[in-house]
Amino acid sequence: MTETAQSSQASTTDDTAPFRADHVGSLLRPPELLAAREQHAAGTLDAAGLRAVEDAAITDVVALQESVGLRSATDGEFRRTSWHMDFIYALGGITKTDGRVEVKMRNSAGQNNFTSAGMAVDGRVHLAEPIFATAFDYLASQVTAATPKLTIPSPSMVYARGGRAVIDQDVYPGNDGIEAFWADLSAAYADQLTAVYQRGCRYLQLDDTALAYLNDPNHRAELAEKGDDPETQHLRYIRQINAAIADRPADLKITTHMCRGNYRSSWAAEGGYDHVAEALFGELAVDGFFCEFDDERSGGFEPLRFVPPGKKVVLGLVTTKSGDLEDAGELKQRIEQAAKYVPLEQLCLSPQCGFSSTVEGNALTVDDQKRKLELIVSVAEDVWGR
């Protein structure tokens, strides 16, 4: 960093989420947890046995996060199969089906598609019961110094995973029906926020690949083929997220994380944030934006010029898609480059995505993961101070 940037350290430290050194949420599952999940699926380990293994693994991974100096801690999403579908299937009015959802993904070796069970919106969407509530309770019981963070998929993901085709026309008929669907969905999310806030959650993250995918012309073309308007779809997503969080308490910090796909070190989309940037950064009423910037797939920092005062941008400069460790000096240079478009005091540092958005995890080791988290904390302390 330059002398000017370094001299601003004292004035840019603060204690509110998102933190200067932060992370997205999912972490690599340890072998004993993966084995327990297989045993549970095979019927040789009951639900109580699986939960005991999960509890122990979460206790360990919370300790890891605190030991490397992170100010936030998640449960690594250790109780989930995927970062989003477990939540979506738990919403009232949504049913898991025998169909398949396939997302075309790729990495340097070629295609590596993600598939999951299908879904149907066959009833009025509502919050049947708080989702991941007991999981958050256990996380909160394990932290000693860090702020417990709950990660859930954004409302956008419920629509993006199936579109209008999976919404029952008898439940939500015509244009009025789709407006009612969105209203019900935002209301369900508002109820979820209230429920987890009452359980002590003060840091909530809405994970959203849909907004980032819209920056890819290929994905916009796919949307058009389905009958949606790719030029305005991001405005709908922003509007519904804002409706969901409009009445949140002032001390509940909410961020959104946007990436272009993350499954076994593969991605689904490419392109900078230009298509959505002005509305996204200017209108989405969250406290911070986790943005991936680990390579050329994510474009440059120029779209950050639309970030208004008072909002933080968490620069996802450290990749989770490989174990190669970034150079601290290069990370500092990139932070300085981003600071040309948004003030340094509004910036933070994190990995570009989770380390294990699905149970399979990315192509790196637990030791690689720890080194990357330690690097993020070290660089953040050098740039912004402790």
DSSP state of 198: H
Taking only the tens place, the pLDDT of each residue in 298-346 is 899 999 999 999 999 999 999 999 999 999 999 999 999 999 999 999 9
Residue 111 pLDDT level (bands cut at 50, 70, 90): confident
4 alpha-carbon distance from chain centroid: 32
Taking only the tens place, the pLDDT of each residue in 150-181 is 999 999 999 998 899 999 999 999 999 999 99
CA neighbor of 268 nearest in space, from 106, 109, 112: 106
- pLDDT reading at 261 higher than 90: no
> What does the block give as tokens for 215?
């920056």
d(CA 264, CA 286): 29
- pLDDT reading at 239 higher than 70: yes
Residue 27 DSSP SS3: coil
pTM to 2 decimal places? 0.94
Taking only the tens place, the pLDDT of each residue in 218-228 is 999 999 999 99
d(CA 117, CA 140): 31
> What does the block give as tokens for 96?
């898991």
Q: Residue 106's pLDDT is what?
A: 75
Q: Residue 309's pLDDT is what?
A: 97
d(CA 77, CA 139): 10
Contact 48, 180 (CB under 8 A): no
- Per-position b or e across 73-83, b if 16+ CB within 10 A of its CB: bbbbbbbbebb
Mean pLDDT of the chain: 93
Q: Residue 165's pLDDT is what?
A: 93
Residue 266 pLDDT level (bands cut at 50, 70, 90): confident
- pLDDT reading at 60 higher than 80: yes
Q: Please, what are the domains in the chain?
A: 20-384 (3.20.20.210)
In degrees, rounded to 5, the angle at the alpha carbon of residue 81 between the alpha carbons of residues 132 and 297 is 105
> What does the block give as tokens for 118?
């299908």
d(CA 144, CA 287): 24
Question: What angle do helix axes 366-384 and 328-338 make, rounded to 10 degrees?
Answer: 50
> What does the block give as tokens for 344?
């340094």
d(CA 213, CA 297): 11
Q: Residue 25's pLDDT is what?
A: 97
- pLDDT reading at 1 higher than 60: no
